[in-house]
Amino acid sequence: MQPPYGKEQIHREKLNPHYVAGFIDGEGCFSVSIGKHKTLKRGYEVRPEFEIELRKDDQEVLERIVVTIGVGRIYDCSYERYGWFPHAKYKITSIWEMKEYLFPFLDQYPLQAKKAKSYKFFREIVLMLCDKQHLSDEGFEKIFQLRTELRMLGKKARTYGSREGAGKPLAPWRETASK
């Protein structure tokens, strides 16, 4: 992925917040990956991520989502190896930006489709991380369980069918719980 475009570079008109909730129900993705980490005490790193990935020629709506939610960055994704056109990805990876911007937004303009369940698990995991509960054995165990629940929601479809909104591929470089 290319270096991100920060919202400081974006001067777009805000969207209606209900529109953004509907768009996220259609195209948004909540995921939590747990990867090995050499320096962290527990040896594992919990990485929550919220993303919306579209074809590059639809990037403007992502830029308007950045200014509407007030946070998030847009990355270029090249899928030449898949024979696909370029994509643009809106992404939030900071748990503090999630807590301060994304969650208040989605709590005020709630998701209406079953993705609301994914959001519920995702939100709980992120707030536990903000609260440093992952540092205790009980906390880490609970986060792992919540992430399993989140993953089960994504697993309702076959892999082939579950992650290809806008033709996006499974991220090949990590194991992830999605949708």
Binding residues vs a second copy (CB under 8 A): 15-27, 54-55, 57-58, 60-61, 64, 79, 82-85, 109, 112-114, 156-158, 160-162, 164-167
CB of 87 to a second copy, least distance (A): 9
Kindly state the smallest distance separating residue 139's Cβ from a second copy, in Å: 30
| Pair 72, 91: CB distance under 8 Å | yes
What are the residues facing 33 on neighbouring strands? Answer: 47
Comparison of 75 and 79: residue with beta carbon closer to a second copy: 79
Query: Cα(first)–Cα(last) distance of the chain, in Å?
Result: 21
Residue 116 or 135 with smaller CB distance to a second copy: 116
CB of 137 to a second copy, least distance (A): 34
Considering the complex, what minimum distance in angstroms separates the CB of residue 15 from a second copy?
6
Nearer to a second copy, 36 or 158 (CB): 158
- In the bound state with a second copy, the residue whose beta carbon lies nearer, of 134 and 168, is 168
Closest separation between CB of residue 156 and a second copy, Å?
A: 6
Indicate the residue among 46 and 178 with the shorter CB distance to a second copy: 178
- Closest of 178, 111, 116 to residue 151, by C-alpha: 178
Rounded to a whole number of angstroms, the CA Rg of the chain reads 16
Choose among 72, 67, 70, 89: nearest CA to 13: 67
- Which CA distances in Å does 47 have to 6, 44, 54, 101? 20, 10, 22, 18
Task: Answer whether 27's CB lies under 8 Å from 139's CB.
Answer: no
